C-alpha cells in the first residue's frame, strides 16, 4: 500500500498535477505607516489584519502547462492615500481595520492599496481593496441580522472595514 501511494505521488508530481507548497512566511510582521491625512479617529487601535504578501512568476516549459512559481525576496511596496508599507516576500504586513460610519459616503470605505513588487527585472502589481467585516448584532436570528445588514446605522456602528488576509502579485 505504501509503495502504491509513493508511486502515485511521484506520477502526479511528474505530470505537474501537484503544486509546490507555499514558501514559509518570514516571522517579522511589517508595520504599515499611517499618512498624516488618514482618519485616525476611524482606525481601530485594537484590531488589525495581518495580510500575507506573496509574489509569483510564470514558468513556461515546452509541451507543458504554464505554472506559477512563488518568488522569495521580491521587494514590495504597499501604498494608498492613508498608508504605506514595505515587505520582502513572502511576508505579512499589519494593516488597519477602519470603523464603518453610516453618514459617510459608502460608509467610509477606506482607499484601495496598490501593491507593487519587483524581483530582478520582473515587476507586477495588485490592488488590495477593503471589505466589510462581520457585523455583530447579537440577535441570533438570521432574518433580523439580514435586516440589520441591509442598511441600518446600527450595522455601521458595529462593523468594520478590513483588507484581505492574502494578496498575490504576478511578476512579468
Give pLDDT tens digits for 119-155. 999 999 999 999 998 655 555 555 655 555 555 555 5
Judge whether 11 lies within some domain: no
Which H or E element spans position 84?
strand 83-88
- pLDDT of 27-42, one tens digit each? 999 999 999 999 989 9
Distances (CA, A) of 144 to 147, 156, 160: 5, 15, 19
Distance in angstroms (rounded) separating the CA atoms of residues 55 and 156: 34
Task: Tell me how crowded residue 133 is: count the other CB atoms within 10 A of its CB.
Answer: 18
Determine the structural domain holding residue 150 and report its residue range: 22-171
Judge whether 141 lies within some domain: yes
Residue 102 Rama label (left phi>0; alpha psi -120 to 50; beta): alpha
Judge whether 57 lies within some domain: yes
Judge whether 78 lies within some domain: yes
pLDDT band at 45 (very low <50, low <70, confident <90, very high): confident
Judge whether 131 lies within some domain: yes
Judge whether 17 lies within some domain: no
**Is the bond preceding residue 11 a cis peptide, omega within 30 degrees?**
no
Distance in angstroms (rounded) separating the CA atoms of residues 25 and 70: 12
Q: All 3 cell numbers of residue 26?
A: 518570514
Residue 12 has pLDDT above 60, yes or no: no
pLDDT band at 15 (very low <50, low <70, confident <90, very high): very low
Sign of CA dihedral 18, 23, 25, 31: negative
Q: How many structural domains does the chain have? A: 1
Judge whether 148 lies within some domain: yes
Q: All 3 cell numbers of residue 22?
A: 507555499
Question: By C-alpha distance, which of 138, 141, 131 is closest to 154?
Answer: 138
Q: All 3 cell numbers of residue 73?
A: 525576496
| 98-102, 105-109, 122-126, 134-138: segment of lowest average pLDDT | 134-138
Q: Which residue has the higher pLDDT, 6 or 115?
A: 115
- The dihedrals phi and psi of 45, each to the nearest 5 degrees, come to -65, -35
Amino acid at each position: 500500500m505504501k509503495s502504491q501511494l509513493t508511486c502515485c505521488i511521484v506520477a502526479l508530481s511528474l505530470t505537474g498535477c501537484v503544486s509546490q507548497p507555499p514558501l514559509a512566511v518570514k516571522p517579522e510582521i511589517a508595520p504599515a505607516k499611517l499618512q498624516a491625512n488618514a482618519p485616525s479617529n476611524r482606525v481601530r487601535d485594537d484590531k488589525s489584519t495581518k495580510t500575507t504578501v506573496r509574489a509569483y512568476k510564470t514558468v513556461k516549459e515546452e509541451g507543458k502547462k504554464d505554472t506559477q512559481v512563488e518568488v522569495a525576496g521580491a521587494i514590495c511596496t504597499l501604498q494608498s492615500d492613508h498608508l504605506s508599507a514595505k515587505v520582502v516576500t513572502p511576508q505579512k504586513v499589519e494593516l488597519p481595520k477602519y470603523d464603518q460610519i453610516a453618514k459617510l459616503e459608502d460608509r467610509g470605505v477606506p482607499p484601495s492599496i496598490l501593491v507593487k513588487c519587483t524581483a530582478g527585472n520582473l515587476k507586477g502589481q495588485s490592488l488590495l481593496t477593503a471589505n466589510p467585516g462581520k457585523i455583530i448584532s447579537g440577535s441570533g436570528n438570521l432574518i433580523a441580522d439580514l435586516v440589520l445588514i441591509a442598511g441600518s446605522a446600527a450595522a455601521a456602528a458595529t462593523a468594520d472595514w478590513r483588507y484581505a488576509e492574502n494578496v498575490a502579485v504576478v511578476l512579468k
